[in-house]
Chains A and B, each alone.
Chain A
Amino acid sequence: MPLSPGLVGELQRILGPEGLVLSYEGRLVYECDMHTFYKGAPDAVALPATTEQVVAIVGLCRRAGVPVVPRGSGTGLIGGAMAPSGGVMVALNRMNRILEVDLPNRCATVEPGLINLALTRAVEARGWFFAPDPSSQMVSSIGGNVGTNAGGPHCLKYGITTNHVLGLELVTGTGELVKLGGKVADRPGYDLTGVAVGSEGTFGLVTAVTVRLLHAAEAVKTLLASFTDIEDASEAVSAIIAAGIIPAALEMLDELMIRAINEGTGAGYPKDAAAVLLIELDGPAAEVDAQGERCARICWERGALEVRVARDATERALLWKGRKEAAGAVGRLAPTYLLQDAVVPRSKLPAIMRELRAIGARHGVQIANVFHAGDGNLHPLILYDDRNPAELERAKAANEELLHACIAMGGTVTGEHGVGLDKAKNLPLQYADADLNFMYRLRRIFDPDRIMNPGKLLPAHPACGEGFRPPRPRLPEGAWI
């Protein structure tokens, strides 16, 4: 349903001529995020520059009953920043200032459109950094990171976005501006900040974020171990953790992925390697040295083909090169792929790798794997040729089966990308009706009219609808109810 002329006029008045995109071509740019399956162009794109404008936009849309869809850099992988039912998209890219850097209190307050890496760039000369490092960190916005509760390779040691958010300024679905949390750690009351992080824009729009900054470690050590068998590599991962070592990152590539990378830019992995394990340690120099030696020994004991240790930053970059190019490199194997983000308990890695091979074989698709082995977060890339509709269907079927397998092993359907439109239908795999209903009611607190990013995160399911009541417990005879 197109927006009413009255609403468009009001939006233009609030945002000025530069602040509202109405043209078809202009809106088309915003029709999807990086999960390009899901397309839905908004009826208008608002580009606010101030919190006051955001408040006004939400207020107007609420009165008009029009959906509001937040968007940062559009680098999400879940069909989150797109408008399946039209409405007004609010792209926060113009709100990209660093409002305050407060090193004595180890924090910074930024606007949501600020690029993740820009924050670290602003403080690294003084020896500090912002820990969450999604692979998209050169382009993704901190607001988007907060919305999806983004992770990254280094969250094994440092935790995901939520562990680094101290406070938020949120415009809720009612158009009210609330300040949640803040620089001071201990605040009485419910942890509204904690529950708002990762709510994918369904609670409202974040207009400012206060985040923790960390002091850079004294030393970093990067090792690369290759194995002829992925099970040996998985066992090395378990042994490293069992030895009491929590590396900053622990990344793995499987045989197919290694082949793709070797055929491409050439990270120079051994040709007969079936698994490559990238281990990064950071911390006090003496700790990193001791743990580095221990990790190398563990890898040799598990039959590593070779173990390389980077001697300087250049060599470290070289070891990371293949990992960082992984998603691009598979382009040599197939025109396109479905990227998955499921998690299994770390100890189930060998089992899920076997299962993935079986699933690929059953559906006649190739599955390349690059994953955060330290926390069991898989990123299988299911390869297919999009010119062949049958192949796409097989890839989709393999994808669903893979998710079921991860859940059956005690895992979760998304480790760091989020739910969005893509995974909403999968939540019932993981949650009972009562759990879904609790989330539905929680969302309603912040957005009673359900105008904020509708269709995302929560599934179309009876438990996520008005009037649903989970069954009351059955009481024994004599306990009247």
Chain B
Amino acid sequence: MGAVTGSVGGALAAIAGRPRVEEGAEVHAGFTIDGLLPRWVVRPATLEQVSGVLALAWDAGLAVVPHGSGAAQELGVPPAKVDVVLDLRDLDRVVEYNPDDLTITVQAGVTLGTLESWLAARRQFLPLDPPGARARTLGGIAATGASGPLRLRYGTLRDLLLGVRFVQADGVVTWGGARVVKSVSGYDVPKLMVGACGTLGVIGELTLRLHPLPDAEQTWVVPCRDAGAAQDFVLRLLDSTVQPSRVEFLNAAALAACEIAGSAAAVAVSIGTAEAAVRAQGDALGALARAAGSAAGLVAAGFWDRYDAAMAPEEGVRLGVGTLASKVGETVGEIERAVAASLAGAAPTLGGCAPLGSLRASFPGTDPARVKAIVERLRAAVAPAGGSVTIQRAPRDVRRVVDPWGPVEPGPLALMRALKEEFDARRVLNPGRFVGGL
């Protein structure tokens, strides 16, 4: 723990090797985090190198930003300080695949696309489908807790992460969880790493629970008169024996982006199981749709790719709105009115997992004051039901003016602060970017 005697760049080079360190003018502009160019970018080849970099950062008081595909770097409060970007994409090894156990252990830099190709031969998959999933790294998906339509049936990474190896802020490599599908030995540490945005540790390795790919899958779209009718249809569907794998709400703009026109709202339902069961369940879905005065129309396989793109536009603002399944209609109306009021009649593109009340809204306007008005109005609207509004993506000027996370109740927030203080007292890991300024 001696005093700093050499240069940080020299030390980083000693840890990771000179070719793995970019310094000063060498730093690629692509690593700019909310307008801040890091002083160093390190691309470690091993977990030991990650550990070394963090140990150094801890001693030297450097702010470290873990980096996967970069897809989620516009999430959270713009940082005040970025010293080192830790580019984890070379941690791209599949450590151990046990197809008979439906488990796999991968390094954090493995992308979902790479994983898919590993698993396809055995007809297995990791059921995670956040926007742009294939290009994203598992470490990034875990750190941001990202999810997509499949969460209805399979849960989120929270439910699929069995074990995790991470590096604490001071460089200590730590393991939590297990390598088997069922374990309750000790605290459920993996839960703490999911969605923590790397503020408690840098995820290095993940042991994941896999699922068999269904024999067959089909998707139907059920047009609805409005969002309220869509909500009613979803609640009736959930109270039936149909077991869908995805049930997503779409408003008119989302439908148009998916090249389906003609209704103000709709529900997209996919069913994946044995072939005969897909047919039978599809019939049951059709009957439910008819009873609601609509019809279930089969759509082609490319639908979910279009939906994925529609939910994650490159520009503008993306919000995540958490509400109750029983308030989806009301909340959709509130979002549409709030956007129209602040953005001169503009309509948001709206979708999301209706049974979980997990909505996603995007709109093109990025004027900070106007976005602030929208977000604050929506937060007030969903607060009574315990809902939340988070900014999933927005230009930094917006996130400077509006807290992208929104308020957390004082009790839980105090525990979260205590956690951060305990495990990263020197505020090395993504400082200031998470809830409550953590």
Contacts and interface: CB of A to CB of B under 8 A. Distances in A.
B186 A439 contact: yes
Contacts of A187: 322, 388, 408
Given A189-B413, A376-B101, A435-B174, A284 B277 contact: yes
A159 B188 contact: no
Contacts of A470: 172, 174
A192 B189 contact: no
Nearest to B100: A347
Nearest to A481: B59
B273 A284 contact: yes
A442 B418 CA distance: 10
Contacts of A476: 14-15, 52
A473 B98 CA distance: 30
A365 to B, nearest CB: 24
Contact of A419 (B123, B185, B411): B185
A442 to B, nearest CB: 6
A375 to B, nearest CB: 4
A475 B388 CA distance: 43
A103 B234 CA distance: 13
A127 interface: yes
A208 to B, nearest CB: 14
Contacts of B212: 241, 243-246
A283 B273 contact: yes
B56 A481 contact: yes
Interface in A171-216: 172, 176-180, 182-192, 194-195, 197-199, 215-216
Interface stretch (B129-137, B193-201, B220-228, B293-301): B193-201
Given A199-B187, A218-B241, A190 B196 contact: yes
B244 to A, nearest CB: 10
Contacts of B419: 190, 442, 445
Contacts, number: 307
Contacts of B326: 102, 104-105
Contacts of A188: 388, 390, 405-406, 408, 435
A189 B175 CA distance: 21
B93 interface: no
A419 B188 CA distance: 12
Contact of B320 (A186, A345, A426): A186
Contacts of A377: 182
A160 to B, nearest CB: 7
B281 A284 contact: yes
Interface in B23-56: 48, 51-52, 55-56
Chain B contact residues (Cβ within 8 angstroms of A): what range? 35 or more
Contact of B279 (A286, A416, A443): A286
Contact of B235 (A104, A192, A417): A104
A397 to B, nearest CB: 21
A420 B359 CA distance: 40
A387 interface: no
B71 interface: no
Contacts of B1: 481
B322 A445 contact: no
A345 B163 CA distance: 14
A98 to B, nearest CB: 19
A194 B238 contact: no
Interface stretch (B3-11, B61-69, B251-259, B262-270): B3-11
Interface residues of A, number: 104
A479 interface: yes
B187 A284 contact: no
Interface string B378-402: 0000100111101000000000000
B238 A376 contact: no
A294 B188 CA distance: 36
A200 to B, nearest CB: 9
Contacts of B172: 434, 470-473
B362 interface: no
B406 A186 contact: no
B372 interface: no
Nearest to A178: B411
A346 interface: yes
Interface in B268-283: 273-277, 279-281
Interface stretch (B110-118, B309-317, B333-341, B350-358): B350-358
B183 A412 contact: yes
Contacts of A375: 180-182
Counting chain B CB atoms within 10 Å of each CB, which of A172, A180, A480 scores highest? A480
B426 to A, nearest CB: 13
A257 B188 CA distance: 33
Contacts of A194: 158, 188, 191-192, 194
Contacts of B59: 481
Contacts of B99: 242
Contact of B387 (A184, A195, A246): A184
Contact of B179 (A372, A410, A473): A410
B155 interface: yes
B180 A191 contact: no
Given A190-B195, A284-B281, A412-B183, A246 B211 contact: yes
Given A188-B405, A286-B281, A476-B15, A176 B241 contact: no
B218 interface: no
Interface stretch (A12-20, A56-64, A147-155, A312-320): A147-155
Contacts of B102: 241, 346
Contact of B52 (A215, A417, A475): A475
Nearest to A182: B386
A202 to B, nearest CB: 9
B173 interface: yes
Nearest to A78: B184
Contacts of B273: 283-284, 286-287
Contacts of B185: 412-414, 419, 423, 426-427, 430
A222 B238 CA distance: 25
A412 B412 CA distance: 31
Contacts of B388: 184, 186-188
A151 B215 CA distance: 28
Contact of A106 (B214, B240, B355): B355
B325 interface: yes
A457 interface: yes
A127 B10 contact: no
A251 to B, nearest CB: 14
B182 A481 contact: no
Nearest to B404: A188
Contacts of A244: 123, 212-215
A414 B243 contact: no
A445 B15 contact: no
B195 A191 contact: yes
B171 interface: yes
A44 B123 CA distance: 57
Nearest to A159: B159
A187 B6 CA distance: 44
A86 interface: no
A178 B412 contact: yes
13 contacts: A186-B390, A188-B408, A189-B405, A241-B100, A244-B214, A291-B274, A347-B101, A377-B182, A412-B178, A412-B182, A442-B419, A473-B48, A478-B10
Interface of B: 1-2, 4-6, 10-15, 48, 51-52, 55-56, 59, 98-103, 122-123, 155, 158-159, 168, 170-176, 178-189, 191-192, 194-196, 200, 211-215, 235, 238-243, 273-277, 279-281, 320, 322-326, 355-358, 382, 385-388, 390, 405-406, 408-409, 411-413, 415-416, 418-419, 422-423, 434-436
The 6 closest A-B pairs by CB, nearest first: A194-B191, A244-B212, A478-B14, A218-B241, A178-B411, A287-B277
Given A343-B180, A419-B184, A439-B187, 17 more contacts: A105-B357, A106-B325, A184-B323, A215-B241, A246-B212, A284-B277, A375-B181, A411-B180, A412-B180, A415-B183, A439-B176, A442-B419, A443-B187, A473-B171, A475-B56, A478-B13, A480-B2
